[in-house]
Amino acid sequence: MASFSEYRAGQRRSQAESNGDEVQNHIPEIADVTEIAAKYGGPPKTIRTGTQMKQNQTANSKFSDHALVLRRRVKPERPELEPQKTLEIWSPKLQEWFRCVAVKCTAVNLFQNPIQIEDPFAEIYHYREAVAQAIHSENTPEDLKVEIKLLQAFQAQFMSLSIKGVSEVTAKQCITFEWLWALFPPGETVILQNQRAESTSVYMCAVVESYTTIKFRDGPTFWKLTVVHFGFDGSEFGKVRREHVYESFSTITEIQSLPVYPLSYHRNAKDMQEKLIERGRTYVYLCEQSGKSSSNGTHWEYEGPIWTSICTTDPNREYSPNAKKEDKSGGFYNIPDTYVSLSRLKVDKY
């Protein structure tokens, strides 16, 4: 049975929500609630997870007076389905802090109220180090620190199995499809392998913008990685955003065998990074020199074992990961290992 103080808090919460008022002082707790969908399109009923809904009881509170809410959405007519879980950040102070920390995040609307993070809560996983640092920082206000600790408590209470599983499998340089999202935080430098290039893979470098999965009813599941790199359209450099879609896999897979994987998981990451930087510099030089004299030749696109066409000025095209230069006799000779997807920014960063 609920205490009198809990009863009064519920009354205040319901009144504030019905009036559209914003709760000023949020309870520094995680409210684990279950939202039960109405059968005939009415408003859902929300109760604390693990409690029973009494007959004729109404419970439409959003629990928005709590700093964090874990909302489990269920459909009574589909009991075989797992609840859809969403973490909601209601506290304005915690929202503002998370916006600053997750500034590179594009998969979540950081300006929505509340901020909603879907299961498997990848954004909480990716920024767990920032959470720990803020808790131990002397510059973090104490009232904010109390709420940030809730994110750490959420990890321990609701994400511990995922965090442990990811740690164990990645320690072996492997991954499962279930935990693939853990490899691709926003801003991560990744390697894209072009395995059509004869017997040797051609490596390109890009930066992760977002990772999502695509599920079809009674069909296969795909994973989509949106990356950003720089390209050259014949006259100037510019940002290129590309989506790469791959089918899911059912076995434990070596990370380096993925078509796209983080540079940090390459066996010789430092050596690969240096090669990519040098290739990027070389390509920038070639592009800047192109057109200055008739003897410089032209760049061709590489789409497999042969050179197929001259580069167009379409900024959405994926430009050649290699380049050839025309000599005075009209033939072509290789400028080996010249990659376009490493921008000036990446060169300067390293």
Q: What's the distance, Cα to Cα, between the start and end of the chain in Å?
A: 61
- Give me the chain's average pLDDT, please: 78
At 146-177, the pLDDT tens digits run: 999 999 999 999 999 999 999 999 999 999 99
DSSP for residue 149 = H
pLDDT attached to residue 295: 54
Q: Which burial class, exposed, middle or buried, applies to 33 when counting CB atoms under 10 A from its CB (0-12, 13-18, 19+)?
A: buried
Q: Would you list the DSSP string of 216-254?
A: -TTS-EEEEEEEEEEEE-SS-EEEEEEEEEEE---S-EE
pTM of the shown model: 0.75
Mean pLDDT of 120-141: 96
Distance separating alpha carbons of residues 49 and 318, to the nearest angstrom: 49
CA proximity to 23, closest of 66, 61, 68: 66
**Interval 311-333 mean pLDDT:** 37
Q: Which of 275, 273, 271, 300 is nearest to 286 (CA)?
A: 300
pLDDT band at 338 (very low <50, low <70, confident <90, very high): very low
- Looking at residue 130, what is its pLDDT? 97
- Over residues 82-108, the pLDDT tens digits come to 999 999 999 999 999 999 999 999 899
Query: In terms of C-beta density within 10 A (0-12 exposed, 13-18 middle, 19 or more buried), how is residue 223 classed?
Result: buried
Average pLDDT over residues 238-260: 92
* Higher pLDDT among residues 264 and 235, named by residue: 264
Burial class (CB in 10 A: 0-12, 13-18, 19+), 271: exposed
> How is the chain split into domains, by residue range?
4-123, 174-262, 269-349
Residue 142 has pLDDT above 60, yes or no: yes
Residue 179, both tokens? 């935990």
Which has the higher per-residue pLDDT, 231 or 263?
263
Any idea which of 73-77, 93-97, 158-162, 321-325 has the lowest mean pLDDT? 321-325
Split at pLDDT 50, 70, 90, the class of 54 is low
